[in-house]
Amino acid sequence: MRILQGIAVSPGVAIGEAVVIDDKGYRIPRRFIARGAVESEMQRLEGAFAAVGKQIEQSRDEIAGELGQQYGAIFSAHLQMLQDAKLRNEIDHLVKQRHYSAEYAITRALGKYSKFFENLPTAYLRERANDVHDIERRLMGELIGNRREALEEIKSPVVVLANNLTPSETANLNREMVLGFVTEVGGPGGHTAIVAEALEIPAVVGVGDFLNEVSGGDLVIVDGDQGRVIFQPDDETIARYEQEVEEHRSLAARLDLLRDLPSELLSGEQIHLYANIEFPHEVDACLQRGAEGIGLYRTEFLYLGQEQEPTEEDHYQVYAKVVQDMGGAPVVIRTLDLGADKIARSPNESRVAEANPFLGLRSIRLSLRNISLFRTQLRAVLRASMIGEIHVMFPLVSTLHELRQAKMLLTDIMEDLDEEGIPYDRNLKIGMMVEVPSSVIMLDHFAKEVDFISIGTNDLVQYTLAVDRSNKEVAALYNNCDPAVLRLIEMTVRLAKEADIKTTLCGQMGGNPIYAMLLIGLGLRSLSITPSAIPEIKKVCRSVSLAQCEEVARRVREMENAREIKRYLREEVRRAVPELMM
């Protein structure tokens, strides 16, 4: 049994067999074959070994000719390993007798050899494990062509282990079959983490290098609450986690009973709970968990993973469905937030790689640079506003000029629709995300030009503390409850209240029960969170009074560092709602 510590980004526990994906692609598309397919599978295996043998011979000859025979000998050793009769018999046996697929048989057999080398006492011999990995990658390349797209085609329940998953790859995971995932890189607040939470897939990121030490088919436990990953767990550990899964189910069933009850404090104040969504199908989860509406609809996922740029009709049909399915509840549509770690094939294919993408051409800046793209989306939003209560919200606004440009374009499109005789809601509410320090500092001016604001803590933390939220190396510095971040949140709430505009907080921070009392104490009365988090936050709301929350906020204001604040908040929630802090 081996335990690794990473960053918990999506809660829950997953227990299952591993599918390992590295930079070379998908290792095991299927594990077993039908009895009648053995002969054809052996032919695939034979073809792969023959092709890889030729590849290695070619590498040997090229390197020997360029650098000398002593370097070519490295590949002679690879060839000798590939042609080893014992290894080949072992793989053949797994296919013929156990009916493993060729890919699975190779991974199992070569995984055993690589682990043997890795456990040897000298560094020189341990390095031989890399030779085994090289042969394995070559064989897999021949068998499956290193296609990462196979992620979408997983047909049996697995835990995905990968170096990295992009937000679009995560979005396209088969939710029925992917029990959880673990990545070597990534950090808290990254968009991959956000998508995992939306899909309700337990996930741990930023674990560090580990892929070379596991094999496809190994049993893995993903603890998305504590950020632990356990390989080859013993029976006692498996039993403990199975019990934990059962306790989670039991708690979820009890919290479901709150669905139709109001989210109000013991002292009577109403706390409005809305949902964040990425995909239209999440509306079902919103309704099941009692969301009052959609507080943040992230529309960029229309683009990620798509070959073609969505048309106005594509946008319209999706927005119309969400609004209709919400049955009259408000839906806040955030305009495109592409760029940084959310790179679409279109419209950004021709973009030059940026040195600092989170500080570069992303979000509202990208939309304002691609007016035709922006116009397409805004037209669809306006058309859909006739179906139900839609609000439009601009992301990552950092200057008044950006906000005014976006509003001017919206006005221009309204005039176009008027000329075309296309109806839309003339009282459409316009809002903006507050997620960079400049928008907080200038909020008294912004507030005169919008109907509402929403605090995006994921980016606000990143830009306030100068911490890349997707970088595991600085993950410890990314902290929602840093005093500087809390001061900006409180300042935002105060300025919005003075301007008499509604404030919602829609970052991941709002969905964590330990922050609920603090946020209410700081003056927030509206939160937009993942649907799965609504029951727990409602439970906290219904268990505490406003006086308790304000006392928590008062105590936190006196503290100087995030660690102290987080410890204090955790204890306060444990006292108020012990069942949530098991």
Q: 280 with 321: CB under 8 angstroms? A: yes
**Closest-CA residue to 273 (of 519, 546, 568, 571):** 519
Active-site residue set:
191, 506
Rg value, the chain, Cα: 27
| Strand pairing category for 219-223 and 502-505 | unpaired
Residue linked to tokens 């397409």: 376
Q: Which residue is listed with tokens 């006739």?
A: 386
Single out the residue of 232, 163, 238 nearest to residue 18, CA to CA: 232
> CA-CA distance, 130 to 576, in Å (whole number)?
53
Residues, the chain, total? Answer: 582
Pick from 157, 153, 117, 149: nearest CA to 133: 117
For residue 391, how many other CB atoms are within 10 A of its CB? 24
- 556-579: b (≥16 Cβ within 10 Å) or e: beebeebeebbebbeebbeebbee
Q: What are phi and psi of 333, to 5 degrees?
A: -95, 115
Number of H-type helices and E-type strands within the chain: 22, 17
HEC-encoded secondary structure of 177-194: CEEEEEECCCCCCCHHHH
Tokens of 446: 């912004």
Closest Cα to residue 371, out of 421, 408, 398, 332?
Answer: 408
- In whole angstroms, what is the distance from residue 320 CA to residue 339 CA? 25
